[in-house]
């Protein structure tokens, strides 16, 4: 049995730590580019996207001037263990609308329908919910009432309605993370360990992946909306 807890104020440190561990463990699912562990840049994105989520967790309660809410899933038999989370951003000018920013479920609990339960709870609170996903996840999300409305970068844009909200959604500027001292240090370590040629190839592999996913998403949506 899944227990869902809603937060609109900061969580306890044990919950935050487990959420960030889920991000690190399931980066390929959370990352829009679906970066694989085999790519040498994987640890860079583990840190960067983990820090993105950390900043949004800090923003719960309005501390950073934007609205952030969170659904945390736990197993009724083990209430101290986080098995999934959905972090979403309510829309300022539309009380029915929100956008899901990050979502993950523990691999060992996927048979329980954790993502489905969390999404249903988000939609119950905000009937006009929007998210992005890979092409492979579209059928499951359509089964939950979402519909394809377009693309956003390398992902398919889906909504519980046939359009996006006209309201404004507050987001944090996380671009600086990728030029931070910490990211540069990780990159320098990887460069020293693997060499310049291998790192350049990892960057090319990442860029090819993004291009391929973008083309795949556009072709899929064009066919679906035709």
Give me the DSSP letters along the chain.
-EEEEEESSPPPHHHHHHHHHHHHHTHHHHSTT---TTSTTHHHHHHHHHHHHHHHHHTTTSTTSS--EEEEEEETTEEEEEEEEEEEEEETTEEEEEEEEEEEE-GGGGGGTHHHHHHHHHHHH-SEEEEEE-GGGHHHHHTTT-EEEEEETTEEEEESSSS--SS-B-----GGGGGSHHHHHHHHHHHHHH-HHHHHHHHHHHHHHHHHHHHHHHHHHHHHH-
**pLDDT exceeds 90 at position 216:** yes
Residue 9: partners with Cβ closer than 8 Å, 6 or more residues away = 60, 61
pLDDT score of 108 more than 90: no
% of the chain residues with pLDDT over 90: 94
What mean pLDDT comes out for the span 122-131?
98
**Confidence class for position 77, pLDDT limits 50, 70, 90:** confident
pLDDT at 49 over 90: yes
Mean predicted confidence (pLDDT) in 34-63:
96
Residue with tokens 């730590």: 17
Mean pLDDT of the chain, nearest integer: 96
pLDDT over 90 at 109, yes or no: no
Residue 46: how many other CB atoms lie within 10 Å: 18
Q: For the residues 159-167, what does the mean pLDDT come to?
A: 97
Token pair belonging to 181: 């001292």
Residue 24 near residue 37 (C-beta atoms within 8 A): no
Does the structure show a pLDDT above 90 at 110?
no
Which domains does the chain show, CATH number per domain? 2-225 (3.40.630.30)
pLDDT of 111 above 90: no
- Looking at residue 76, its pLDDT comes to 87
Question: In this predicted structure, what is the pLDDT of residue 124?
Answer: 98
Per-residue tokens: 135: 């092409």
pLDDT computed for residue 112 by the predictor: 86
pLDDT confidence of 52, banded at 50, 70, 90?
A: very high
Q: Report whether pLDDT(1) > 90.
A: no
Res 105: pLDDT: 94
pTM given for the model: 0.95
């Amino acid at each position: 049995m899944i227990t869902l807890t809603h937060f609109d104020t900061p969580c306890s440190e044990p919950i935050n730590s487990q959420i960030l561990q889920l991000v690190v463990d399931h980066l390929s699912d959370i990352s829009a580019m679906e970066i694989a562990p085999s790519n040498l840049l994987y640890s860079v994105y583990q840190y960067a996207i983990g820090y993105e989520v950390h900043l949004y967790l800090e923003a719960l309660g309005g501390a950073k001037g934007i609205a952030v809410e969170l659904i945390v899933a736990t197993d009724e038999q083990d209430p101290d263990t986080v098995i999934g989370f959905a972090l979403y951003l309510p829309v300022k000018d539309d009380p029915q609308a929100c956008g899901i920013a990050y979502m993950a479920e523990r691999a060992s609990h996927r048979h329980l329908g954790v993502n489905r339960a969390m999404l249903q709870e988000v939609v119950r609170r905000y009937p006009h919910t929007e998210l992005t996903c890979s092409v492979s996840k579209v059928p499951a999300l359509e089964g939950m009432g979402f519909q394809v409305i377009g693309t956003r970068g390398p992902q398919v844009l889906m909504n519980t309605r046939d359009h996006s909200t006209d309201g404004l959604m507050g987001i944090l500027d996380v671009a600086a993370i990728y030029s931070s001292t910490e990211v540069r240090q990780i990159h320098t370590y990887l460069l020293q360990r693997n060499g310049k040629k291998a790192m350049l190839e990892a960057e090319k592999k990442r860029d090819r992946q993004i291009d391929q996913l973008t083309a795949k998403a556009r072709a899929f949506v064009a066919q679906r909306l035709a």
